Chain A
């Protein structure tokens, strides 16, 4: 309601609306909250493509793809830590970067590309598996690039698998391979390995990382509302599925191995 209202002009409306760009109203085949899961059972995970050693200049690397989550991981080191004094245990440095085109909204390079919260979670999953006591004064750098993002939970889980594979590919001594699986609570059902839509529609999400060879859990991260009993069920389901993923990782490492 401006005070100098000029009636001789064509006055536009007071508010303007930005156009709605996503047209998913028409698509009948699209999954919507409340519908049963499409193309797989609740306890199924998406098919995994895992290829170690794709980045030739790195000491170890891995590329992982589970439908629309695509992550490349490179491991450099162990190499000398710079600008620090003597440290008795090696340092595991995890960095996660998003490609600018990886999300719905553009992630501006430099300013908005790095996500520390994912890096912290992946670090948590990996740190107890690597024998850092063998590398005094050194750093192991793990660089992850998220090429396509289909949910943060899925990024954390698949990123952990890729990083552990890359560490093994680099020949770094570990206590065991770390695998990770996400789950979401959809109504009363537990859906494993959710994509972005499923994870946002679910009441709670949980990501579990474990070393199946040693039967120990290295990281649990749960968010949202869930009863303690269901939480335990989620963790059990995830751990079971981690064993499957473990054999996939082991197989991909064996088939990539060329005796010198």
Chain B
């Protein structure tokens, strides 16, 4: 993983010394465990099934052009299981593309590598079977939804992984899977092979009866209005917390939400992805990135504090998503009534 900005040795040492002080100093005046302000909006892409835009670190008063900005959108496509690449039960695919505008000094090959690395991290975590949504099936063993999650990094001023997963989680929570109904064509018994067929719509075929499955030929969208059900997974979609490790010897010290300068100065990062559901806290992914090493004993403490930070972030995001949902549904309806 290449650093996104290049700094001189003295600049790096300046940042590192300031962070390592007894009372640490950061360029923007935050304490080690402070996040920059996070802005989030869902439903930004009207043609997508679910979408979200996240900005970390936009300074108040400025319209745009500062902070880390990421857009995520979910598109659902119908896929045949028998023909093509589809699998029974549906698939989830994530792609990250980094805009050249976000990384102006990277060559196009380096940019591709960076996008690929981010894609792998997102894909390995989110398309793991433990997070697979159950309602991506249209007709068992025949048709399923292919869920593609595309994330675009519009600008990067540090902490891009947290932003990626915030946007991914918001877009996935925002996603509505269209309701479908299985449809069957039955030729009339006396006129076998004739053109006139009778159409009967039935409830989604049960998985237990193979006879029903075979007879279902196609499906139709159940609703005229563009609505559907949210994705149905056993757990919650995870949130990411990046711990930037200052020293990982016996007493680990770290800071959160690094700017790109700080990222260049402190090479070692620990990515932790947690998912919080009523059944308990689950670690969904963990990854050490960068040049450096840590002691296993310090991992206990890092995991513990990472979990605390992730829980706060998760709760804040949950509240914000509810607020967004309210804004887009109830408020919009109320405004519609006023007219």
Contacts and interface: CB of A to CB of B under 8 A. Distances in A.
Contact of A225 (B197, B270, B283, B288): B283
B125 A223 contact: yes
A231 interface: yes
A228 B295 contact: no
Contacts of B286: 206, 220-222, 231
Interface in B273-297: 275, 280-296
> Chain A CB within 10 Å — which of B129, B292, B296 has the most?
B296
B275 A225 contact: yes
A203 B129 CA distance: 8
B133 to A, nearest CB: 15
A120 interface: yes
A120 B271 CA distance: 15
Contacts of B212: none
A128 B193 contact: no
A57 to B, nearest CB: 28
B213 to A, nearest CB: 13
Interface in A193-222: 203-204, 206, 210-211, 214-222
A94 B36 CA distance: 36
A223 B117 contact: no
A15 interface: yes
A227 B280 contact: yes
Contacts of A215: 295-296
B293 A232 contact: no
Contact of A220 (B117, B129, B288, B291): B288
A7 B193 contact: yes
Contacts of B270: 220
B305 to A, nearest CB: 11
Interface in B96-154: 113, 116-117, 120, 124-125, 128-131
B62 interface: no
B1 interface: yes
Contact of B82 (A15, A124, A127, A220): A15
A236 interface: yes
Contacts of A18: 82
B130 A227 contact: no
A174 interface: no
User: From DSSP, what is the main secondary structure of chain B's interface residues?
Assistant: mixed
A210 B294 CA distance: 9
A203 B292 CA distance: 29
A63 to B, nearest CB: 27
Contact of A227 (B120, B128, B281): B281
Contact of A228 (B117, B193, B283): B283
Contact of B128 (A218, A220, A224, A231): A224
A1 B185 contact: yes
A74 interface: no
A124 B283 contact: no
B199 to A, nearest CB: 11
A80 interface: no
Given A15-B82, A227-B281, A227-B282, A217 B288 contact: yes
14 contacts: A5-B195, A7-B193, A15-B83, A16-B82, A17-B82, A124-B289, A217-B295, A217-B299, A222-B286, A222-B287, A223-B125, A224-B284, A231-B286, A232-B299
Interface of A: 1, 3, 5, 7, 15-18, 116-117, 120, 124, 127-128, 203-204, 206, 210-211, 214-228, 231-232, 235-236, 239
